[in-house]
Amino acid sequence: MDLRGVLFLIGICLGLPANTNAQDAIQPLDPDSVDRFLQAPRPAESALIIDNLGAVYTHWGKSICSEQATLVYSGFVGGTWYASKGGSSTYLCMPMEPEYSLFIKKKQSRTVLQSSELQTPSKQIPAFGDLYQNTPACAVCQAFRRPAQFMFPARMTCPDGWTKEYDGYLMTANNRHRRTEYLCVDGQPEAVPNTSKNVNGALLYFVETNSKTHVPSTYTPERELTCSVCTK
Ligand SMILES: [Ca+2]
């Protein structure tokens, strides 16, 4: 397609009137008319949609969002059994009320979705030690007018100009188990009620560095690494 064709299609997408001259139906758009369209005032509802754009992120370890974000839904942390070779390496924030479609009434070749457990028998970090073996809660949250979101590993603060949604500890699978992703779990986590029984599942452990690789000397070996989730 030549440049005129591309401009014609752009014109259709923008809702600009097409040249209807039957003898020469495809005409290049007047660049001034494109500029005028892009600069024209938008209806109020369009401005509202743009104003409300905000990042959606999971607040791991809490059933509620920070005060500057809006709750989409809350639930429990789920994932694949800690020793399974297959399944998925990601954790999910599972809703409390699942909706099913058609189903098969017997066991299939499958992946089993397990609840997560905090493997944190720590007296030094009592907020986690108190929830040892519990399933952490989670919330999916939307920031208000802040479309960018990032999890900063090993930081408890946010860069200038960013808003902190929460901070906590970096968590993932144990080195000896099957590999999963890193999560930032709130430093004051909350458990799903009645989940204190040790049944394992998609386990979560703290993360530390050691002195065997080229991690900078600014890191202290064997300290639990922190994290922050920030939006802008
Ligand atoms: Ca356990």
227 CA → ligand 1 middle, Å: 23
Q: Which residues surround ligand 1, an ion (CB under 5 A)?
A: 117, 133, 198, 200
76 CA → ligand 1 middle, Å: 16
Amino acid sitting at position 120: T
Q: Is residue 176 classed as helix, strand or coil in its secondary structure?
A: coil
The closest alpha carbon to 54, from 140, 146, 141, 139, belongs to 146
**Which residue ranges of the chain lie beneath pLDDT 50?**
1, 3-25
199 CA → ligand 1 middle, Å: 6
Contact yes or no for 204/117 (Cβ under 8 A): yes
Per-residue pLDDT, 27: 57
Per-residue pLDDT, 40: 63
- Domain boundaries defined on the chain: 3-40, 54-231
pTM score, two decimals? 0.79
Pick the CATH number of 54-231 from 2.170.150, 2.170.240, 3.40.50, 1.20.58: 2.170.240
Per-residue pLDDT, 6: 45
Per-residue pLDDT, 47: 52
Phi-psi region of 72 (alpha: psi -120 to 50; beta: other; left: phi over 0): alpha
Per-residue pLDDT, 44: 56
85 CA → ligand 1 middle, Å: 19
Per-residue pLDDT, 4: 47
Q: Is residue 231 classed as helix, strand or coil in its secondary structure?
A: strand
119 CA → ligand 1 middle, Å: 6
Per-residue pLDDT, 23: 46
